[in-house]
Amino acid sequence: MLRDITLGQYYPVDSFLHRLDPRTKLFGTLVYIISLFIADHIWAYAAAVLFLAAAIVLSRVPVKFMVRGLKAIVFLLLISVSFNLFLTPGRAIFKIGFLQMTWEGVEIAVFMAVRLIFLVMGSTILTLTTTPNQLTDGLEKSLGIFKKIGAPVHEVSMMMSIALRFIPILIEETDKIMKAQMARGADFESGNLIQKAKAMIPLLVPLFISAFRRATDLAMAMEARCYRGGEGRTKMKPLCYERRDHLTYLFYLFYVIAVLSVKIVL
Amino acid sequence: MGIIKAVNLIFDYIRHDEEENKDEINHALRGVTLDIKEGSFVAILGHNGSGKSTFAKLMNGLLLPSDGTVYISNMKTDDEEHLWDVRKTAGMVFQNPDNQIIGNIVEEDVGFGPENIGTPTEEIWERVDQSLEAVGMTAYRLQSPNKLSGGQKQRVAIAGVMAMRPQCIVLDEPTAMLDPNGRREVIKTIHELNRQERITVLLITHYMEEVIDADRVVVMDDGHVVMDGAPKEIFSRVSELKQYSLDVPQVTELAYELKQAGMELPDGILSIDELADRLAAHKGLL
């Protein structure tokens, strides 16, 4: 059962967006997020809606999966909307005690909500259409310039992909240790928060020891297979841009021009 | 000179106390000399703490000898310059299948070794295809390693080593954590590689059944090589093996007991069929 968990929320279908180079998608998400923060006019938002709609259609992922991602921010959304509604000074709509709702507040609240929702949906599309591996690959390649100033880009991305590989193994191990401790009378369920946290100690200690042991083993296995960092390493699946990536970048350019011209002209 | 040559190997595990003084010295190997012929299948037997795993790790420079030398196709393992060539020549498979698979997808893991040694992309694919084919895991190439059985994972690990085109493979108790089916699967794969690809195999194990088909069996005890010869020869010395706390295969044990009881049987019977034939011959005589 635990072996079946999928990390991230990758939705496996074959679509234009799925086949896009991860770097293109990462860059697009970045452009989109920045554009949302620049935008302060209805037409700029219209462009953002268009961008998002295009991405949704091209991803061939059912919309309900993207909406699911919004659940996590409902609370945040409510707080930010209510703060903006009641605490923005301006022309009052009505007043309860010291709280007053203003027209300006409504405007800002709506923009804020739209901004947040679009932001989450945009990044959800990225994770829905890109496997964790592709993401780390894409990050490694796009952040390659930072290698020149000595940032350990390859190392970090290798760590990320190893972490991804070991998460299911460690979850399974946690489960095993938990059962073993329960068989010895450990109680993970009852008590208040502090007692529960204390009950975790006999679970965490063996887990950590085993994780370190695995790490030593893995390091040795990697060395035995000639791993010596990113230097002189070739790629089995190198990333290379294709026609669709160039087209997408062109689309980004149009989008940026549209958003910026709205900002400047209107 | 063979592909692997160990000359008078000594290895000590030294534990230091807080002041960096030598606290405890554990002699894992006390002078091992061994010469392994190219293309042969050599099994190293020994109970826990006999030094067999240490010996394995010395074979590709994961550990360097305290004294003595290891030559892998004429390269010294303690020669910094040749370290990567040594590791390319002598691949290594470890005990725990989970802790040696790096990739999130089977084919990516097999490609890990060739990526490290700078193989061009097309050739990596070619090698991955061939290696997966050789261990019979082609059907699983796009799966996550987490969904495979222990035996399958170990075969992927072997494929990962094969993709580096080594001349010999050192397997450090590859079946210790597997069920009987997985064990059979892995041993069969190793034998096929030895026969078909002419890979030299150094199998370290404590399961007697796995060494019956080897060309040569080396028994280690307390850091020394104590017995060395063909399986038939080794297994005919039952009482000696027991002295090193090793068992013999069940059939051999039965034949040994029958012989002790006065039946006329040759030494070193290794297979059920062989014993059955011998017994049938006896019955015919009676």
Sheet strand arrangement including B41-45: B90-93, B168-172, B200-205, B41-45, B216-221, B224-229
Domain-embedded: residue B239: no
Within this chain, do residues A82 and A12 fall inside the same structural domain, yes or no? yes
Residue B25 has pLDDT above 90, yes or no: no
- Under DSSP, is residue B78 helix (H, G, I), strand (E, B) or coil? coil
CB B186 within 8 A of CB B175: yes
Residue B143 has pLDDT above 80, yes or no: yes
CA-to-CA dists, residue B2 to A68, B205, B220, angstroms: 63, 22, 20
H/E segment holding residue B204: strand B200-205
Tell me the pLDDT band of A6, cut-offs 50, 70 and 90: very low
CA-to-CA dists, residue B116 to A137, A165, A221, A239, B161, angstroms: 16, 19, 13, 17, 12
Domain-embedded: residue B278: no
Distance between B128 CA and the closest CA of chain A, angstroms: 9
Mean pLDDT across the stretch B87-93?
Answer: 93
Q: Give contacts of A237 with chain B, Cβ < 8 Å.
A: 108
Q: Give contacts of B87 with chain A, Cβ < 8 Å.
A: 223-226
Residue with the bigger pLDDT between B268 and B109: it is: B109
Q: Of A164, A226, A232, which is closest to B87 when you measure between CB atoms?
A: A226
Would you call B102 and A228 a contact, using CB atoms and an 8 Å cutoff?
Answer: no
Would you call A218 and B111 a contact, using CB atoms and an 8 Å cutoff?
Answer: no
Q: Which of A14, A226, A231, A235 to mutate to test the interface with B (most CBs of B within 10 A)?
A: A226
H/E segment holding residue B55: helix B52-58
Within this chain, do residues A214 and A250 fall inside the same structural domain, yes or no? no
Residue A1 has pLDDT above 60, yes or no: no
State ipTM.
Answer: 0.87
Closest CA to A239 of A162, A158, A142: A142
Q: What is the pLDDT of residues A47-68, one digit of tens each?
A: 999 999 999 999 998 888 888 7
d(CA A221, CA A241) in angstroms, rounded, equals 33
DSSP assigned state of B22: E
Q: Give contacts of A221 with chain B, Cβ < 8 Å.
A: 92, 94, 99-100, 102
- Under DSSP, is residue B243 helix (H, G, I), strand (E, B) or coil? helix
Within this chain, do residues A124 and A14 fall inside the same structural domain, yes or no? yes
The secondary structure of chain B in percent helix, strand, coil, rounded to multiples of 5, reads 40, 25, 35
Domain-embedded: residue B178: yes
Q: Which domain holds residue B200?
A: 4-230
Residue A3 has pLDDT above 60, yes or no: no
- Under DSSP, is residue B104 helix (H, G, I), strand (E, B) or coil? coil
CB B160 within 8 A of CB B110: yes
Q: Give contacts of B105 with chain A, Cβ < 8 Å.
A: 133
Distance between A210 CA and the closest CA of chain B, angstroms: 11
Mean residue pLDDT of chain A comes to: 86
Residue B257 has pLDDT above 50, yes or no: yes
d(CA B136, CA B144) in angstroms, rounded, equals 16
**Burial level of A20, CB count in 10 A (0-12/13-18/19+)?**
buried
Q: Are strands B168-172 and B4-16 parallel, antiparallel or unpaired?
A: unpaired
Q: Give contacts of B96 with chain A, Cβ < 8 Å.
A: 214, 217
- Under DSSP, is residue B12 helix (H, G, I), strand (E, B) or coil? strand
Q: Does A222 touch chain B (CB under 8 A)?
A: yes
Query: Among B138-152, B209-223, B241-255, which is the least confidently predicted range?
Result: B241-255
Would you call A165 and B147 a contact, using CB atoms and an 8 Å cutoff?
Answer: no
d(CA A175, CA A3) in angstroms, rounded, equals 12
Query: In which residue are the tokens 């027209």 written?
Result: A103
Q: Give contacts of B60 with chain A, Cβ < 8 Å.
A: 224
Sign of the Cα torsion B165, B170, B174, B180 reads positive
Q: Does B114 touch chain A (CB under 8 A)?
A: yes
Tell me the pLDDT band of B285, cut-offs 50, 70 and 90: low
What is the number of structural domains in chain A? 2
Q: Report the pLDDT value the prediction gives residue B23, as an integer from 0 to 100.
A: 74
Within this chain, do residues A201 and A82 fall inside the same structural domain, yes or no? no
CB B217 within 8 A of CB B43: yes
**Burial level of B175, CB count in 10 A (0-12/13-18/19+)?**
buried
Mean pLDDT across the stretch B35-59?
Answer: 91
Q: Does A70 touch chain B (CB under 8 A)?
A: no
Query: Among A93-97, A127-131, A247-251, B232-236, which is the least confidently predicted range?
Result: A93-97
d(CA B93, CA B174) in angstroms, rounded, equals 7
Q: Does B207 touch chain A (CB under 8 A)?
A: no
Structure token digits, residue B104: 């999130």
Distance between A226 CA and the closest CA of chain B, angstroms: 6
DSSP assigned state of B281: H
Q: Which domain holds residue A157?
A: 146-224
Within this chain, do residues A16 and A63 fall inside the same structural domain, yes or no? yes
Q: Nearest chain A Cα to B149, which residue?
A: A3
Within this chain, do residues A103 and A196 fall inside the same structural domain, yes or no? no
Domain-embedded: residue A34: yes
Within this chain, do residues A122 and A245 fall inside the same structural domain, yes or no? yes
Within this chain, do residues A196 and A67 fall inside the same structural domain, yes or no? no
H/E segment holding residue B189: helix B180-196
Residue with the bigger pLDDT between A148 and A216: it is: A216
CB B172 within 8 A of CB B12: no
Q: Does B73 touch chain A (CB under 8 A)?
A: no
Q: Does B101 touch chain A (CB under 8 A)?
A: yes
Q: Does A105 touch chain B (CB under 8 A)?
A: no
Q: Does B113 touch chain A (CB under 8 A)?
A: yes
Distance between A19 CA and the closest CA of chain B, angstroms: 17
- Under DSSP, is residue B59 helix (H, G, I), strand (E, B) or coil? coil
What is the number of structural domains in chain B? 1
d(CA A110, CA A22) in angstroms, rounded, equals 32
Would you call A218 and B100 a contact, using CB atoms and an 8 Å cutoff?
Answer: yes
Closest CA to A134 of A265, A10, A16: A10
Q: Nearest chain B Cα to A236, which residue?
A: B121
Within this chain, do residues A48 and A126 fall inside the same structural domain, yes or no? yes
3-state secondary structure chain A: CHHHCCCCCCCCCCCHHHHCCHHHHHHHHHHHHHHHHHCCCHHHHHHHHHHHHHHHHHHCCCHHHHHHHHHHHHHHHHHHHHHHHHHCCCCEEEEECCEEEEHHHHHHHHHHHHHHHHHHHHHHHHHHHCCHHHHHHHHHHHHHHHHHHCCCHHHHHHHHHHHHHHHHHHHHHHHHHHHHHHHCCCCCCCCCHHHHHHHCHHHHHHHHHHHHHHHHHHHHHHHHCCCCCCCCCCCCCCCCCCHHHHHHHHHHHHHHHHHHHHHHHC
Q: Which residues of A101-117 are buried (b: 16+ CB within 10 A; e: fewer)?
A: bbeebbebbebbeebbb
Query: Among A137-141, A230-234, B138-142, which is the least confidently predicted range?
Result: A230-234
CB A17 within 8 A of CB A124: no
d(CA A131, CA A9) in angstroms, rounded, equals 8
d(CA A224, CA B222) in angstroms, rounded, equals 26
Closest CA to B252 of B235, B273, B231: B235
CATH number where B126 lies: 3.40.50.300
| Tally of CB atoms within 10 A around A10 | 17
Q: Does A194 touch chain B (CB under 8 A)?
A: no
Query: Among A94-108, A192-206, B5-19, B158-172, which is the least confidently predicted range?
Result: A94-108
Tell me the pLDDT band of B128, cut-offs 50, 70 and 90: very high
Distance between B39 CA and the closest CA of chain A, angstroms: 21
Q: Which of residues 243-282 of B touch A (CB under 8 A)?
A: none
Q: Report the pLDDT value the prediction gives residue B284, as an integer from 0 to 100.
A: 67
Q: What is the pLDDT of residues A83-129, one digit of tens each?
A: 888 888 877 777 777 778 888 888 888 888 988 899 888 888 888 88
Would you call B121 and A228 a contact, using CB atoms and an 8 Å cutoff?
Answer: no
Q: Of A161, A217, A223, which is closest to B99 when you measure between CB atoms?
A: A217
Q: Give contacts of A232 with chain B, Cβ < 8 Å.
A: 118
Within this chain, do residues A202 and A159 fall inside the same structural domain, yes or no? yes
Q: Give contacts of B111 with chain A, Cβ < 8 Å.
A: 236
Closest CA to A86 of A107, A110, A108, A102: A102
Residue A205 has pLDDT above 90, yes or no: yes
Within this chain, do residues A216 and A253 fall inside the same structural domain, yes or no? no
Domain-embedded: residue A169: yes
Would you call B146 and A228 a contact, using CB atoms and an 8 Å cutoff?
Answer: no
Q: How many CB pairs under 8 A join A and B?
A: 91
Structure token digits, residue B238: 């039952």
Domain-embedded: residue B265: no
Within this chain, do residues A125 and A28 fall inside the same structural domain, yes or no? yes
